[in-house]
């Protein structure tokens, strides 16, 4: 692969890789660091990248592996959410929607890594099952089952949370 082709391929996939890493790691700084590592690893393998049939899938695999390594390294440490919710205080419905989305994102962050990866790629990035299968190397049915379990878990936790809040209020 030549340098110009490499630059084009990187520019096409960098945002997807960043969003994926950010979802898995939970913060921007770690995701930026991982993406830099991904680019370095891809650059080091520049001569062999022609052999890789699907550049995007290979880049996603490298990103996934580096994120998992990072998560293993910091296992047991508390992850702080550094994003603030901004909302229109005069619009209660707007707040409720944003709160539900924020709660779903927090719950998504608590999912096991496999569920989090698949849910992000399908529900946030909008990728098809076959694309996810190519990127992560899981069977299509495994992806469907994992996604179903992840959605069910989040739905149950949201139901429990909002039922609890209704009882308390």
Whether residue 163 sits in one domain with residue 126: yes
Q: Are 14 and 59 in contact (CB under 8 A)?
A: no
Q: Which has the minimum average pLDDT: 1-15, 97-111, 126-140?
A: 97-111
Q: Which residues contact 57 (CB under 8 A, 6 or more apart)?
A: 134, 135
- The answer as to whether 40 is a domain residue is yes
Residues 113 and 140 in one domain: yes
CA nearest to 81, candidates 127, 2, 25: 25
Whether 83 is covered by a domain: the verdict is no
pLDDT digits (tens, 9 = 90+) for 121-162: 998 888 899 999 998 899 999 999 999 999 999 888 888 776
Give the model's pLDDT for residue 141: 95
* Domain that residue 148 falls in: 92-168
Same domain, 96 and 60: no
Q: Are residues 158 and 97 in the same domain?
A: yes
Q: Count of domains in the chain?
A: 2
CA angle 118, 123, 128 (to 5 degrees): 70
Residue 53 lies in a domain: yes
* pLDDT tens for each residue of 46-72: 777 665 567 788 888 889 889 888 888
Domain of residue 129, CATH code: 1.10.10.10
pLDDT digits (tens, 9 = 90+) for 9-49: 888 888 888 888 888 888 889 999 999 999 998 888 877 76
Last residue of a domain, one of 26, 44, 73: 73
pLDDT at 169 (0 to 100) = 45
Is residue 126 in some structural domain? yes
Largest CA distance in the chain: 62
CATH number for the domain spanning 69: value is: 1.10.1740.10
Whole-model pTM over 0.85: no
């Amino acid at each position: 692969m030549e340098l110009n082709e490499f630059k084009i391929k990187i520019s096409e996939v960098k945002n997807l890789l960043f969003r994926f890493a950010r979802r898995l790691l939970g913060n921007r700084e770690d995701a930026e660091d991982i993406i830099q590592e991904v680019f370095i690893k891809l650059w080091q393998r520049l001569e062999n990248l022609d052999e890789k049939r699907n550049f995007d899938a290979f880049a996603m695999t490298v990103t996934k592996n580096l994120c998992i390594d990072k998560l293993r390294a910091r296992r047991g440490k508390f992850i702080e959410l550094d994003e603030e919710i901004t909302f229109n205080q005069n619009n209660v419905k707007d707040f409720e929607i944003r709160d539900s989305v924020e709660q779903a994102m927090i719950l998504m962050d608590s999912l096991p890594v496999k569920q989090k990866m698949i849910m992000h790629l399908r529900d946030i990035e909008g990728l098809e099952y076959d694309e996810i299968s190519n990127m992560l190397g899981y069977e299509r049915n495994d992806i469907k089952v994992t996604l179903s379990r992840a959605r069910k878990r989040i739905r149950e936790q949201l139901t429990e949370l909002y039922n609890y809040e209704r009882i308390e209020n």
